[in-house]
Amino acid sequence: MPLKRKIAYIDLTTGDIEVKPIPIEVRKKFLGGRGLDAYLLYNHTKKGCDPIGPDNTLMVSGGILTATCASATARTHVMAKSPLTGLLGSANMGGFFAPEMAWAGFHHLVIKGKAKHPVYIYIHNGEIEIRDAEGIWGLPVTDAQWAIRDDLGDQEVKSMVCGPAGENLVAYANVMTGIKNSGGRSGMGCVMGSKNLKAVAARGTMDIKIAHPVEALEYNKRFIDQIISAKVNQTQGTLGTPFIWGATNSWGGIRCRNFQYNQCEYADDIEPERIDEICEETMGPYHMTGCFGCQVHCRAQYKITEGPYAGRYDEGPEYTSQGAFGGETDTPRANTVLVGNHLVDQYGMDNLETGSLIAWAMELYEKGILTKKDTDGLDLSFGNDEAVIEMIDRICYRKGFVGDTLAKGGIQASKVFGKDSFQYLIQVKGMSNLHSDERATPALALNIATGSRGSDHLRSRPAIDLYHLPQDVLRRIYSTPIPYDGPLSSEHTEYIGKPWQVFWQENCYMAVDCLGICKYHTTFLGATLPNFEDWPKVLYYNTGLDMTPEEIWMVARRCNMIERLFNLREGLTRNDLEKGDMLNHRYFDEPTRRGAPEVVGRVIEKDKFIKMIDEFYEHKGLDKDGNPKPETLKELDIENEPSHLV
Amino acid sequence: MAKALYIDYQKCTGCRLCELVCAVKHDGISNPTRSRIKVMKWEAEGLYIPMSCQQCQDAPCLNVCPVKAISRDEELGRVVVDYDVCIGCRSCVAVCPFGAMNFNVIDKKVIKCDLCDGDPQCVRFCDVNALEFVSPDEISIGKKRDAAGRLSKAGREAGVLLAEL
């Protein structure tokens, strides 16, 4: 049974390993994946612990449905206190790792302490071993994974690794599995590096008995049909996430030259069709690959065709890499994006953070806050392709003043660079924003301002707000499973009703992250995809756990509140520019200059924005300062946290 | 003519859903080691090749079986194991040139593709049609058409080159 998957507590300092079952009452309260990780983080880390010290605790998990007969349940979640933000660190990735860990007997790992020398953890059919990683330390992401397979003599082993960036304690180093699957944001690879933990490897052949296999199989087929009948997923399955690049850029939603423009002038060269054209000969007819058990197959495959990296194979580039190494730095050339994407994949660092910080440094260079003396002679001008590639290398290996400083993360770097460098940094809670520009979309601005791990599009973004869906369609989506009769607007430049949408999406995304399902299989980019009404059946057929849509909604709210409690404990205050639910002043002060007619000249209106936050807090059950009301904690049954149930 | 499982590995995206549904359909259990089909992967090259039983006409597994537990089912075009007769010696596993005869270490018995009695679930779930269940003569006709198209295209390109000379 999926519910028999266990939790392991691994102390890297002492080498002690303790294995425990996950009690059913814990499953009912937190399900698994990100939600249970948040509970474990809140319970197993001390307030104010050093994110790169031995006291920080790293959670690795699969969702409750991982490795069952439910579509696209391949997600691995990692969580710890973030070295980048000092608040919640949390990242979610696809691939094949979490299912392998589940077949090896585990759904959750809690990794504490620090190993004396480089090690990796090997999980194999109920057993856990801490192995020497001296020969693997220093290797880039894919070489490390293949070296682990050779070390274990098993080519079926799946590993989750940190790259050289993690070893070098780059604050936004990520964890990676496979060629390109990244637990990208908030520096979880840095936490691994700080623990001398190069990898977690898994190989499992243990049964997971499906509670109602005939029904599970048939329902999975229905689910898949629903998912791949959505045009958005068919397009994803042909072009990958870059399919939204052209449209988003043309209406004016792409940050260019850090935050100076909201549109890239010449962006055709990095359109997915163009990249396909360049790489045509090196790929099969579909050019696409997918995660475990998923029929959307949204990852493109490519080979670099020119320059010093010619012949290197990789996957992507995703929409995020287009923005990070093309849009923000104003270098929209295919080869720059392909090489930039490849380097961050191999070094194991977050493409969003890397690209954003390079673009920020470029603006500081333009403004004279950074000079050629600081950059060791590198011309850090916008549009300089070589400078972008060179900076990725310098950050990973902490070379030169600017490279080493940017590796600390934006806020720390702004303290080193001084002057008014902080004013130009596009971040929330210390995490750089995606390359998207939210000045014309208040709902999306609210989402990045209040995201639990900082400025991010995958924690509460109501992306369908851009589709101008009819009111009744919006109402149908946003009134399940909890009735909502407040205002809703189909207009993406509006402020009314948006707090409810963001609140609803926050719970929707938390629910899929607990279940272990990919966001492309819910109300993210497609309005017709499954959500709360559909999940109870999948959960019941696969695990036997009987829950209503309302109960899953409550789990999501509870887990979001635990994340909030963690952030509050670590110093979140409402209006703090470094640790609060607040946007950089440029969103309020600098009007957009490009894009569609209704987009040009937009800023976020501060008074309306503050009202949105008030309303959002009310939906969440927080007071005006953003702290939970006692009755909210009681309603969510978490008034006694930390409760140490597991 | 009974249909055959046709695998076009060039279309495979490597998701391994076939392995999952195979195990769930046959055993009600999620575990790829129980799957009769298995995707072999070279991730670093983006190469994914599903491997399954070819239901050979002159099947080595059938020939090698010392107790004659393996026979051909002409109606469904498959090679089947009679578990009442099988002694679990694994000779068939050793001799199969495709590695398509598996030994399930949990139940301690050999397992192979039985084409789900005529409705292969791997085919049903493979949206990219890397797996198809078709009449064997259709397979070669389709491939002939593709190859002819390539030849014709090459011929035209060569013609253009000649014309330019």
State the DSSP string of B26-90. HHSEE-GGG-S-EEEEEGGGTEEEEE-----TT-HHHHH-TT--EEEETTTTEEEE-TTT-----
Task: Write down the pLDDT at residue A334.
Answer: 93
User: In this model, does residue B138 exceed pLDDT 90?
Assistant: no
Q: Using the beta-carbon criterion (under 8 Å), do A217 and B30 form an inter-chain contact? A: no
> Measured between beta carbons, which residues in chain B are less than 8 angstroms from residue A288?
13
Q: Using the beta-carbon criterion (under 8 Å), do A221 and B11 form an inter-chain contact? A: no
Find the range with the poorest average confidence among A268-282, A419-433, B99-113, B131-145: A268-282
Residues of chain A with pLDDT under 70: 1, 280-286
Q: Do residues A414 and A446 share a domain?
A: no
Domain range spanning residue A488? Answer: 442-635
Q: Do residues A133 and A260 share a domain?
A: no
Does residue A66 lie within any of the structural domains? yes
Q: Do residues A621 and A481 share a domain?
A: yes
Are residues B112 and B100 in contact, defined by beta-carbon separation less than 8 angstroms?
yes
B50 strand-pairing partners:
B39
Q: Is A316 on the interface with B (CB under 8 A)?
A: no
Does residue A246 lie within any of the structural domains? no
Q: Using the beta-carbon criterion (under 8 Å), do A68 and B21 form an inter-chain contact? A: no
Q: How far is A335 from chain B (nearest CA, A)?
A: 19
Are residues A43 and A2 in contact, defined by beta-carbon separation less than 8 angstroms?
no
Q: How far apart are CA A501 and CA B74, in angstroms?
A: 59
User: Which residue, of A397, A432, A467, is where some domain finishes?
Assistant: A432
Are residues A357 and A406 in contact, defined by beta-carbon separation less than 8 angstroms?
yes
Question: From the list A179, A224, A288, which residue is nearest B13 (CB)?
Answer: A288
DSSP code at position A434: P
Q: Is A495 on the interface with B (CB under 8 A)?
A: no
Does residue A309 lie within any of the structural domains? yes
User: Which residue, of A432, A464, A491, is where some domain finishes?
Assistant: A432
Task: Write down the pLDDT at residue A411.
Answer: 98
CATH number at A467 reads 1.10.599.10
> Measured between beta carbons, which residues in chain A are less than 8 angstroms from residue B24?
69, 210, 213, 216-217
In the numeric block, which tokens belong to residue A625? 């300062």
CATH number at A295 reads 1.10.569.10
Does residue A244 lie within any of the structural domains? no
Among the CATH numbers 3.40.50.720, 3.30.70.20, 3.30.1490.190, 3.90.105.20, which is that of B4-134? 3.30.70.20
Q: Using the beta-carbon criterion (under 8 Å), do A293 and B17 form an inter-chain contact? A: yes
Q: Using the beta-carbon criterion (under 8 Å), do B31 and A207 form an inter-chain contact? A: yes
Q: How far is B63 from chain A (nearest CA, A)?
A: 30
DSSP code at position A600: T
Does residue A236 lie within any of the structural domains? no
Domain count, chain A: 3
Task: Write down the pLDDT at residue A281.
Answer: 56
B64 vs A280, higher pLDDT: B64
Q: Using the beta-carbon criterion (under 8 Å), do B30 and A207 form an inter-chain contact? A: yes
Does residue A561 lie within any of the structural domains? yes
Q: Using the beta-carbon criterion (under 8 Å), do B15 and A286 form an inter-chain contact? A: no
Which ipTM was obtained for this model?
0.94
Q: Do residues A507 and A417 share a domain?
A: no
Are residues A288 and A238 in contact, defined by beta-carbon separation less than 8 angstroms?
yes
Q: How far is A498 from chain B (nearest CA, A)?
A: 36
Q: How far apart are CA B158 and CA B164, in angstroms?
A: 10
Q: Do residues A292 and A187 share a domain?
A: no
CATH number at A102 reads 3.60.9.10
Chains A & B: contacts with CB separation below 8 Å: 98
Closest-CA residue in chain B for A68?
B30
Residues with Cβ within 8 Å of residue A459, at least 6 apart in sequence:
A447, A451, A452, A453, A506, A509
Q: Do residues A458 and A539 share a domain?
A: yes
Helix H, strand E, coil C: the string for A275-286 is: HHHHHHHHCCCC
Q: How far is B122 from chain A (nearest CA, A)?
A: 11
Closest-CA residue in chain A for B123?
A221
Task: Write down the pLDDT at residue A276.
Answer: 83
Q: Mean pLDDT across chain B, nearest whole number? A: 94
Q: Using the beta-carbon criterion (under 8 Å), do A286 and B43 form an inter-chain contact? A: no
Q: Using the beta-carbon criterion (under 8 Å), do A213 and B24 form an inter-chain contact? A: yes
Closest-CA residue in chain B for A142?
B44
pLDDT digit string, tens, across residues A403-445: 999 999 999 999 999 999 999 999 999 999 999 999 999 999 9
Q: How far is B93 from chain A (nearest CA, A)?
A: 19
> Measured between beta carbons, which residues in chain A are less than 8 angstroms from residue B127?
224, 228, 295
Q: Do residues A289 and A418 share a domain?
A: yes
Angle at A298 between CA A281 and CA B18, to 5 degrees: 95
Rounding to the nearest 10 degrees, give the CA dihedral for residues A484, A538, A514, A43.
110
Q: Do residues A419 and A514 share a domain?
A: no
Under the banding of pLDDT at 50, 70 and 90, the label for residue B143 is confident
Closest-CA residue in chain A for B47?
A284
Q: How far is B119 from chain A (nearest CA, A)?
A: 13
The residue ranges of every structural domain in chain B are 4-134, 138-165
Under the banding of pLDDT at 50, 70 and 90, the label for residue B156 is confident
Q: Which helix (H) or strand (E) holds A40?
A: helix A33-44
Q: Do residues A420 and A474 share a domain?
A: no
Q: Do residues A76 and A159 share a domain?
A: yes
Q: Is A23 on the interface with B (CB under 8 A)?
A: no
Q: How large a percentage of chain B has pLDDT more than 70?
A: 99
Task: Write down the pLDDT at residue A266.
Answer: 83
Q: How far is A71 from chain B (nearest CA, A)?
A: 9
Q: Using the beta-carbon criterion (under 8 Å), do B29 and A224 form an inter-chain contact? A: no
| Best residue of B30, B34, B39 to probe chain A, by most A CBs closer than 10 Å | B30
Q: Do residues A376 and A315 share a domain?
A: yes
Q: Do residues A389 and A463 share a domain?
A: no
Does residue A562 lie within any of the structural domains? yes
Are residues A283 and A291 in contact, defined by beta-carbon separation less than 8 angstroms?
no
Are residues A544 and A1 in contact, defined by beta-carbon separation less than 8 angstroms?
yes
Q: Using the beta-carbon criterion (under 8 Å), do B16 and A293 form an inter-chain contact? A: yes
